[in-house]
Structure formats: structure tokens, C-alpha cells
Structure 1
Amino acid sequence: MANEKFNWKGLFVNDVNIEEENSGKKMPESAESAKPSQDTNPKTSKFPDSSPSLKVTVSQNVLDTIVAMYESGFESLNQPGYDFYEYFKAIESVGSHEPAVYKMALTMAQTVDKKVNKELLLSKAEYYIEEIAKVHQLYLAQGTAKKEEIQSENKSKKAQLTNDIASLEKQIVEIKEQVARKKSELQSVDTSLIAEVSEIDQKITCNDIAKTKIEGAIVTVVNGIKNNL
């Protein structure tokens, strides 16, 4: 299976930093890569640098890391003996796709293994393409699932925050109503106080007047007694 050959950790699990993950982890060395190289040119081969136009902006650093993962995975799929992988490396090491290069590479391959021919190379190439496609689909599914999970979490958070805001706004309205009631009560207290104080002041004044009146009447009688008896 592709996910067995490509022993890579998921790209979209727990927000793992791709660079940190790959700097400390190497791909398992294949049987073919462990044996002495059969290439005449020691130049390291890589996938073509060209890439399809992307609809989203991507970090070149992340892109380079994932491309390197695919290259390592491609190497890990290498089968024992001479097959398409070695032929691919030979072509890429030359750096040219002229017809003569392909013919020369086939001639060199047949010196290593006489069974190598066009049909065998195309058959093995199909195997690599299919395995890589399986891995691509696996990570595409993981990425899509992770994105949907994040979007769902984001939707839930927004819904929760919206509810919280609505609840707080309701509380604010209730508090404003309570403040208005308390202000009204405060004004009522002032009005009641003024009325009560005014009534008391009136009684105090009347008390003074009554006292003065009674005392005056008494004094008048007292004076009459003193003067007339």
C-alpha cells in the first residue's frame, strides 16, 4: 500500500511544524539506495522544478519541504534491481530530455540488466505514479478533513461568542433598567424628604407661634392681676 511505502507522518495533524518534523526524521533507506549507485553521473536527481499554478499563496519553504518529502518517498518505493527509478535518476542526472539521452540511458541500463526495455520501464513507472497518487489522495483527504474540522470549530466558536454577546447585551439592558429604577427611587426619596421636612418645619414654626401667643395671653393676665388687684 502507498501509505505503507511512504512512511510519512500526516501533514495536517495537531498543527505539527513540517520543518521541525522533517529535520529530525529521515525516510527509511530502501534496498536499492543502500547498495552502490549504478549511475555513472553522481549528480543528485530531483523532480522537475516546474510546478502547476496555485490558486492560493504558499510559503516557498513549506512547498520545498513537501516536495522533498515526495522525493524521499519516491526513493523509498524503489524496488530491488534495475527498474524505472534508476532509469529516472539517470535521465535527471544528465539534465536533458533529448531523444539521444533516453536511448543512451536505456543502453546503459541494459548493460546492468538485459531485461530492461521500454515496456518494463513504462510498467514500473505506472507503479510509482499509482503509489504516489495514493499518498497524494491520502494527504488531500487528511488536509480537507483538517480544514473542515477547523472551519467547524471556528463556526462553533463564533456561534458561542455570538450567544455570549447577546447574553451580555441582554444583561446590559437589564442593568440599565435597574439603574433607571434606582434613579427614579432616588428622586422619590428626595421628593418625600422635602415634603416631610417641610411639614416638620411648619409644625415647628406653629409651635413657636402658639407658645408665643399663649405666653402673651398669660403675661397679659398676670400684668392685669398685678395692676388691678
Structure 2
Amino acid sequence: MTRTALVTGGTRGIGAAISKKLQDEGFIVAVSYAGNSEAAAAFSRETGIEAYKWDVADYDASAAGIAQVEADIGPIDVVVANAGITRDAPFHKMTPEQWHQVIDTNLTGVFNTVHPIWPGMRERKFGRVIVISSVNGQKGQFAQVNYAATKAGDLGIVKSLAQEGARAGITANAVCPGYIATEMVMAVPEKVRDSIIAQIPTGRLGEPEEIARCVAFLASDDAQFINGSTISANGAQFFA
């Protein structure tokens, strides 16, 4: 049976790796993106995966986008809530705007993504909800009070949804990546990057494909008894 998957923020970085891996595993995949239409078009040309534009921070836009995805590819069996942003600043300098932007995308955005899909999963008695959290949601991070709060909150969402969805055949799990060799991380000054790597016992950054393999496992039938769990993929940087 061919299943369908939606990956938010799925055209770049970790999201792109997840989308490609799920496609390789036989899923029919759709992705969403918020702003970079050029990158999204390039991703679709490369993979043949349709990219849909909406802001996960907007519930109505999310619901409309998801409805269009389901009209095009069918009911969504697997949803990967990956879309996220950073607006870093030390707490004493953080503005309310920086706080709310991150909360609205990284935390409320998970609600806005999963909530429209949840009734259909319950009705069909099957679903996989996978949220991409972060090591910094587990341990905190300097100048990321907003980001760490959202990523910790995402873990609370997963644990609660797991209990609500279990009898309906729905699992909800999280993946907490450590520092991954994405475009954003590789763009930081080499000196800063070296200081990050020095904190990772494996001595290297992770690869997006390593996170994608975690997601593919959680989306598979082999993971049906794994529910409310967190996979920490951080090179032994932190133990939850």
C-alpha cells in the first residue's frame, strides 16, 4: 500500500533530505515552504516532488494548503512538522517580535500543521506524526530562549498526541537533531563552527541524511509500537 507524506519546510536542508528519503522509501511526498520560491522550484525540478507555498504560522493558510495537498495526492498518512526559524538574541536584548515570530512558527506552526490532518488520521485509524525538535530544546542554548522554548514545547506536543492517538492507530514521535551540516550551519564563521564541533564527542557535524533516516524509520510499519518517543541524533553531545 502506497502511503502519502507531507513535509513542512521540505525544500531545503534537513527537510529536503527527509523528503527525498521518504520518496526513496516509496511514499508519495508533498512539501511546503514559506518564502524561497527559487529554491522550491529547483527542488521540485530535481525530485519531481510538488512544493506548496504557505506560512505554517497562519492556521487558515495551513488548512487551505493541506486541503489542496490532499486533493492532489490523497489523504495524508505521514506528516513531518519540520518548518522552523531562528531569531537569536540574548534574553535581555530579545524583542517581543523575535519571541512571537519563533513561537508562531516553531510551536504554533506544529499545531497548525497537525490539527487539520488529525481528524482524517483518526477516521482512517492510521497516522504518523513526526516533529523535528532540536538538541537545544533538550538542553537550552545561549541567546535562544525563544527557540529552545518552542523545541521543548514540541516534545510536549508529541507526548500528548501519542496518548490521544494510540488507540486510533496514530503514533507521534520527535527527532532532536544536534548540529547538522546544513546551509545555515555551514554559513557561520569557521572559528565558530570549529567551536561547535569541539563540543561534539564524535568530532563532526551530522549530515541531513542521518536525520532523514530517523524520520523514515518512524514513518515505517516497523515503528508502530514506538509512540511518544524522542530520537536524539546529536553525536553524543547531549543525553536526554
Q: How high is the TM-score relative to the length of structure 2?
A: 0.24
- Greater relative contact order structure (CA < 8 Å, 6+ sep): 1
User: Which is helix-richer, 1 or 2?
Assistant: 1
TM-score normalised to the size of structure 1? Answer: 0.25
